[in-house]
Structure 1
Amino acid sequence: MNSCIFMAEIVQDPQLRYTSDTQTAVTEFLVQIDPIRDGDAPETLKVVTWRKLAEAVPENFHRGDRVVIEGRLGMILFDRPEGFREKRAEVTAQRVHLISHGSGGSAAMTPPPAASMPSPAPVTPMNPEVAGPSGDEPLSDDIPF
């Protein structure tokens, strides 16, 4: 099973777009993960969300916010303009939990309607600060792991 959970800071505001063929919502953003060892550089990962979660993320999360992301890790292979192929890690998120707002986010947040935050399984956060904007449930996608 491919599953990961990690804490990170959003370093690029989420960008919402729609696929040209099916008009499916897709949001992409960059997060930075703190290094494990002192002196190491932080890691940057691209995070992708789909459907209802993709529509809710840009409204509720902004650059500077600390989040916990649950999802699947994948490797993307693409051609570079320099003429070689590069592999890059990418996370497809199923849930995004807010830990704290950064200075780039808005002070007052309006949570999306409950219908836009389906959860594949009931979630009871151990810490209320880790829950989604409504405080009772994390934002999640309806894609099973």
Structure 2
Amino acid sequence: MNHCLIQGVINSAPQMRYTKENQTPIAEMIVNFKGLRSEDPTRDLKIIGWGNIAQEMVNELKEGQNIVIEGRLKMNSVTRKDGTKEKQPELTASKIHQIEPVEAVKSDESENNEAIDKKESTKKSNWDSSPLVPEVDEIPF
């Protein structure tokens, strides 16, 4: 079974197109996601949505927004202009979850202190999975 969950930031707003045969909507966008280790570079991933998911992507998502995407991951083989082949990952979305922005800090000092305490406790609870991840990654991206 191929089912992935990826959290990322939308790099390019979703673009809509339609199939020739029955005009099924297809939306595409690029999402940036971080690696597991702090020294890992940020990567791009092409997201594809079909039908209702495509409509949702175009109507509700915008560049810079944090989201979690569920779907099927596949690798496409693309021929570059110089004739060499390159593998590019693509995720076909089955669900998209919008991550709500952090609540704005209130002007009242007690609420402000409470918000800071919550923010600090969130920072402390971040779990670093890098010790559990092997140094050699089998995934080609």
TM-score normalised by length of structure 1? 0.66
**1:47 match: secondary structure:** strand
Question: 1 or 2, which has the higher helix percentage?
Answer: 2
Deviation (angstroms), 1:21: 2.1
- 1:11-55 alpha-carbon deviations (Å, 9 max, x no partner): 110001101222110000000111211222111100000011101
Matched residue count: 101
Larger Rg: 2
Q: Say whether the 8 Å CA contact 1:25–1:51 is kept in structure 2.
A: yes
**1:36 match: secondary structure:** coil
Query: Unaligned stretches of 5+ in structure 2?
Result: 102-141
Query: Unaligned stretches of 5+ in structure 1?
Result: 102-145
Q: Distance in 2 between matches of 1:81 and 1:15?
A: 24
Match in the other structure for 1:29: 29
Q: Distance in 2 between matches of 1:4 and 1:56?
A: 19
Percent of residue pairs bearing the same amino acid type: 36
Match in the other structure for 2:39: 39
TM-score normalised by length of structure 2? 0.68
Structural RMSD (CA): 1.1
**2:59 match: secondary structure:** helix
- 1:90-124 alpha-carbon deviations (Å, 9 max, x no partner): 000000000036xxxxxxxxxxxxxxxxxxxxxxx
